[in-house]
Structure 1
């Protein structure tokens, strides 16, 4: 990631029981200040449900409202499957892979 990217790291557990608290803790500054892109890093997700999609969509909403591009890095296969099932996969695109 470069200086034009803000990274939001998702926690290992993002289920209904904790999703609302995590979403409330999102700092508007992450979305509004500086970076052209906001990347949600989902690589640590181990236990999650459809609430994780709601959190990602909330992040996307904040990013787009601030004029930022939004993408997701490291999404587990099951999360991508849930996004397809709920018809929101195109709203949470995968982050571009940086060239080595």
Structure 2
């Protein structure tokens, strides 16, 4: 499970992206799940990080889903037209 931090903004996105990409590469499982339950402070950069995680996971042959996506971030993803790229984990 990829755990998002409590704050994910433009200032923290590059470091978070590197950390999550490293975790993806070292995890042998076939499914990548990003857990957004801790996420409290975010901007649109959080979407960019999740989309980059998705891209990296797919490049590694893994499926990708997001668990516990905050309703405001889900609404933002829908507004930007990328909601379907961030499926909910079951």
TM-score by length of 1: 0.84
Native 8 Å contact 1:28 1:62 kept in 2: no
> How far is the alpha carbon of 1:23 from its aligned partner?
0.8
Compute the RMSD of aligned alpha carbons. 1.4
Q: Partner residue of 1:42?
A: 36
- C-alpha change, 1:28 and 1:73, in structure 2 (3 Å) is same
Deviates more, 1:29-38 or 1:73-82: 29-38
Aligned residue-pair number: 90
- Among candidates 67, 75, 89, match of residue 73 of structure 1: 67
- Correspondence 1:82 to 2:76: yes
Between the aligned partners of 1:33 and 1:21, the Cα distance in structure 2 is 19
Gaps of 5+ in 2: none
Task: Give the aligned partner of residue 30 of structure 1.
Answer: 24
Range that drifts further, 46-55 or 29-38: 29-38
Which structure 1 residue ranges, 4+ long, deviate > 6 Å from structure 2? none
Q: Given the alignment of the two structures, is residue 61 of structure 1 paired with residue 55 of structure 2, yes or no?
A: yes
2:32 alignment partner, SS class: strand
Residue 13 (structure 2) pairs with residue 13 (structure 1): no
